[in-house]
Amino acid sequence: MSVNLTLLIVMGLLYACGIYLILERSLTRVLLGLMLLANATNLLILSTGGYAGLAPLFNKSTDPRDYNDPLPQALILTSIVISFAVTAFMLGIIYRTWALARQDDIQDDAEDRRVAKTPSFDAEDDSVVPEETSEFPDTAVTEAAKEGGPE
Amino acid sequence: MNIASLAPLAVVLPILGAALTFALNRNPLAQRVVSIGMLSLTLLLECLLLASVWTTGTASVTLGGWQPPWGVVMVVDQFSSFMLVVSSVISLAVLIYATGQGMADGDREAPVSIFHPTYLILVAGVSNAFLTGDLFNLYVGFEILLTASYVLMTLGGTGPRIRAGVTYVVVSVVSSVLFLIAIAMIYGATGTITMADLAIKLAELDPGTRNLLHVMLLVAFGIKAAVFPLSFWLPDSYPTAPAPVTAVFAGLLTKVGVYAMVRTETLLFPGDTLNTPLMVVALLTMLVGILGAIAQSDIKRLLSFTLVSHIGYMVFGLAMSSIAGLAAAVFYVAHHITVQTSLFLVTGLIERRGGSSSMDRLGGLAKLSPLLALLFFIPAMNLAGIPPFSGFLGKLGLMQAGIALGTPLAITLVVGGVVTSLLTLLAVARVWNRAFWRKPEDAEYPDPVLKDTAGVGLLPRTMVGPTAALVVFGVALTVFAGPLFQLAGNSAEQMLDRTAYIRSVLGEHAPIPGIAAPHGDTPAGSPAGGASPGTPASAQGGGK
């Protein structure tokens, strides 16, 4: 099976640019990166079909080996349709992000940041509970907790 | 006519339902009737499929008149039909719950006109992924369910959901591109994408090429299944979606990834080439996931982390590639789908009753709503693996298989599994203590709803009903653990044997050259081969 060198080089370039772009924080660039990746993959599928040949329309007088492999092309058509739908959806999301936050960047998860900042000290579990000395245990503990446990 | 030839209807019926509900988008009542009706019909069909496969064995359906190595086939074997039934039970319960929520809320949260068609398409995608016997069709199934899930994830378009949706969409698209690259390479190397045909032809490839293809597929599926180094996206994106959507995602989407991993490991690349890395990854998934869960204060986020953590158990069972290990993994998948979904549904109820899903704002729910406390307690203990629940039986099966295998790594994993189970107990016990057990005034920032009980109505029955039904279904998995373990054992045996699968697609006289090699090295890799058939029986004894 011979391969088309130009196709391979173009494919490599598309992958390189696509990966570079999806590492960006700007959503529009991420979208462009995803589109490049999808197209590079389409070229990869195309190149698995082997050499260029005749269109696979059956004719008794043609040698079967002259035909092109039709299956990769069918796969590419499907994958183009899918990436088209995903691109449209991503554009919708990006527009929505812009409408909500006037920003094109991926935003941090606020809850995640909050959990990451939580100290390992947990007032409920870790605060020092004084020994029971008083006759009225309930009041003693709550007072100690007020003093000992930082907010 | 053989009932198995109706298998494509499991995909067609939900899509038909989606089209109908989309046409009926001005009539919410008709939409609800159609979507619930369609899903019930699908569930019925899938039960019949399971019964037919149980009696007559693996069957395949050729689509579009193209013969198997060229056309798309659907294969119904015990594993796929079992997964279909479990997934449909879950999706039907969640659909009724979501409908109840929609009726109670006046559809502010989830606009029905979009929700019902999208949900049905999600179900169709899941069914397609379970049924297909063609690698590219599996990709299409994944894309159907993912595209539907993008819409469900960002339903309503609020700020946090859009933020979470972006991460989710980008990660999913990257994993799909990886999968597609793997398909292209596999086609380039073998000239076929029918899985049964691949099972024969991949065995003839050079080992280096084979390993490359194997790893690429596992990475692509690992992202979808949220296996540890590739699991970062899940706890970030799941918790913000509406409760029923998170529930169905947690139950089904990651398990479709696990299902694809099982097929890769058993059908396409049998043998134990990657078992060691898979075991290491399984251990890390369990431990890192559960440590993440302990740090959380939001119940939904906590459950998302336990979801990641427990994927590790399934990967562990898969990585043992013995009948006992695989059977336990199959049982564990069914158990985990049910339990995780019911916990997320209960969290939705907690949010309604207590006004929040953050443990800092909750307290005293056990007194406010004893039924809710019961509905949380049972699946929570089930998740942690407290006897006699199905979580315990699944873990027991895995431990037995691990000890039977006897390698140091397998023993480490058994220990890791026990530690994870205990830490899960700690995590859910924290939820119990803080949200249910303590007094409302002990909460850090008590939600006003907790004290002012007069203004809050009862939980809608249409939401409590499906949740309770799922909890009962989870308990039923315990009660019927014997037959279920037998089913799981049979499907594991079939998957490792591969003959039935390949012959049902390629005809009775299909050559099975690949069989000789993997059979040669599986018993060599696992001395458990002889002892393993005994394990399902003994676990069955534990179920009684």
Whether B189 contacts B213, CB under 8 Å: yes
CB neighbour burial string for B491-520, b if at least 16 within 10 angstroms, e if fewer: bbbbbbbbebbbbbbbeeebebebbeebbe
User: Is residue B4 assigned to a domain?
Assistant: no
Looking at the structure, tell me whether residues A94 and A117 fall in a common domain: no
What is the distance between the alpha carbons of residues A15 and A37, in angstroms, rounded to a whole number? 6
Question: In the structure encoding, which two tokens stand for residue B166, read together?
Answer: 């972006």
Looking at the structure, tell me whether residues A93 and A118 fall in a common domain: no
B24 or A51, greater pLDDT: B24
Q: pLDDT grade, residue B532 (50/70/90)?
A: very low
Looking at the structure, tell me whether residues A70 and A122 fall in a common domain: no
Q: How many domains does chain B have?
A: 1
Q: Answer yes or no: is pLDDT of B518 > 50.
A: no
B449 or B542, greater pLDDT: B449
What predicted TM-score, i.e. pTM, was given to this entire model? Answer: 0.87
Residue-wise pLDDT for B405-464, tens only, equals: 888 999 999 999 999 999 999 999 999 988 888 887 777 777 777 766 654 566 788 888
Q: Answer yes or no: is pLDDT of B108 > 90.
A: no
Residue-wise pLDDT for B450-461, tens only, equals: 766 654 566 788
What is the distance between the alpha carbons of residues B253 and B380, in angstroms, rounded to a whole number? 21
pLDDT of residue B365: 82
Long-range pairs for B519-527 at CB < 8 Å and ≥24 separation? B521/B271, B521/B272, B522/B270, B522/B271, B522/B272, B522/B321, B522/B322, B522/B496, B525/B271, B525/B272, B525/B275, B525/B321, B526/B272, B526/B320, B526/B321, B526/B322, B526/B405, B527/B405, B527/B406
Number of residues that make up chain B: 544
- Annotate B409-424 with three-state secondary structure: HHHHHHHHHHHHHHHH
pLDDT of residue B274: 87
* Window B:239-298, CB contacts with A under 8 Å: 239, 295-298
Output the CA–CA distances (angstroms, integers) from residue B458 to B9, B104, B300, in the order listed: 39, 11, 22
CA distance A61 to chain B (A): 23
Nearest CA in chain A to B145: A82
CA distance B144 to chain A (A): 9
Whether B272 contacts B321, CB under 8 Å: yes
Residue among A106, A110, A118 whose CB faces B166 most closely: A106
Contacts of B118 in chain A (CB under 8 A): none
What is the distance between the alpha carbons of residues B110 and B108, in angstroms, rounded to a whole number? 6
Looking at the structure, tell me whether residues A93 and A26 fall in a common domain: yes
Q: What angle do CA B355, B357, B363 make, to 5 degrees?
A: 70
Residue-wise pLDDT for A58-95, tens only, equals: 777 888 777 888 888 889 999 999 999 999 999 999 99
- DSSP lists the bridge partners of residue A105 as A26
DSSP structural state of residue A7: H
Residue-wise pLDDT for B117-168, tens only, equals: 999 999 999 999 999 989 999 999 999 999 999 999 888 778 888 888 888 9
pLDDT of residue B314: 93
Looking at the structure, tell me whether residues A131 and A97 fall in a common domain: no
User: Is residue B117 assigned to a domain?
Assistant: yes
Residue among B177, B185, B236 whose CB faces A37 most closely: B177
Looking at the structure, tell me whether residues A119 and A53 fall in a common domain: no
Q: pLDDT grade, residue B522 (50/70/90)?
A: very low
Output Rg (C-alpha) for chain B, integer angstroms: 22
Contacts of A107 in chain B (CB under 8 A): 163
pLDDT of residue B342: 93
User: Is residue B457 assigned to a domain?
Assistant: yes
Q: Answer yes or no: is pLDDT of B334 > 90.
A: yes
Looking at the structure, tell me whether residues A10 and A61 fall in a common domain: yes
User: Is residue B522 assigned to a domain?
Assistant: yes
Looking at the structure, tell me whether residues A83 and A139 fall in a common domain: no
Q: Looking up tokens 């060599």, which residue turns up?
A: B524
Long-range pairs for B22-30 at CB < 8 Å and ≥24 separation? B22/B117, B25/B112, B25/B113, B25/B117, B26/B113, B28/B102, B28/B107, B28/B112, B28/B113
Looking at the structure, tell me whether residues A96 and A115 fall in a common domain: no
Range of B112's domain? Answer: 10-543
Residue-wise pLDDT for A90-142, tens only, equals: 999 999 888 888 878 777 777 777 777 877 776 666 777 666 666 665 655 55
Tell whether B300 is within 8 A of chain A (Cβ).
no
What is the distance between the alpha carbons of residues A88 and A68, in angstroms, rounded to a whole number? 32
Q: How many domains does chain A have?
A: 2
pLDDT of residue A2: 64
- DSSP lists the bridge partners of residue A67 as A54
CATH number at residue A91: 1.10.287
Q: What angle do CA A133, A137, A139 make, to 5 degrees?
A: 115
CA distance B511 to chain A (A): 24
Mark yes or no for CB contact B165/A101 under 8 Å.
no
pLDDT average, residue stretch B244-258: 92
Q: Answer yes or no: is pLDDT of A144 > 70.
A: no
DSSP code per residue over B249-278 = IIIIIHHHHHHHHHHIIIIIS-SSTTHHHH
Using a pLDDT cut of 90, give the percent of chain B over it: 47
First to last CA, chain B: 38
Q: pLDDT grade, residue A55 (50/70/90)?
A: confident
Tell whether B216 is within 8 A of chain A (Cβ).
no
Looking at the structure, tell me whether residues A137 and A84 fall in a common domain: no
Looking at the structure, tell me whether residues A16 and A82 fall in a common domain: yes
Contacts of A45 in chain B (CB under 8 A): 180, 183-184, 187
What is the distance between the alpha carbons of residues A19 and A23, in angstroms, rounded to a whole number? 7
User: Is residue B5 assigned to a domain?
Assistant: no
Range of A82's domain? Answer: 5-101
Q: Looking up tokens 């494919």, which residue turns up?
A: A11
What is the distance between the alpha carbons of residues B226 and B287, in angstroms, rounded to a whole number? 14
Question: In the structure encoding, which two tokens stand for residue B535, read together?
Answer: 């394990």
Looking at the structure, tell me whether residues A81 and A132 fall in a common domain: no
Question: β-pairing, B59-62 with B73-76?
Answer: antiparallel
Say whether B193 sits in a helix, a strand or coil: coil
Nearest CA in chain B to A44: B184
Nearest CA in chain B to A106: B163
Residue among A41, A101, A118 whose CB faces B159 most closely: A101
Nearest alpha carbon to residue B185 among B268, B111, B252, B258: B268
What is the distance between the alpha carbons of residues B18 and B117, in angstroms, rounded to a whole number? 4
What is the distance between the alpha carbons of residues B435 and A99, in angstroms, rounded to a whole number? 36
CA distance B91 to chain A (A): 24
ipTM above 0.85, yes or no: no
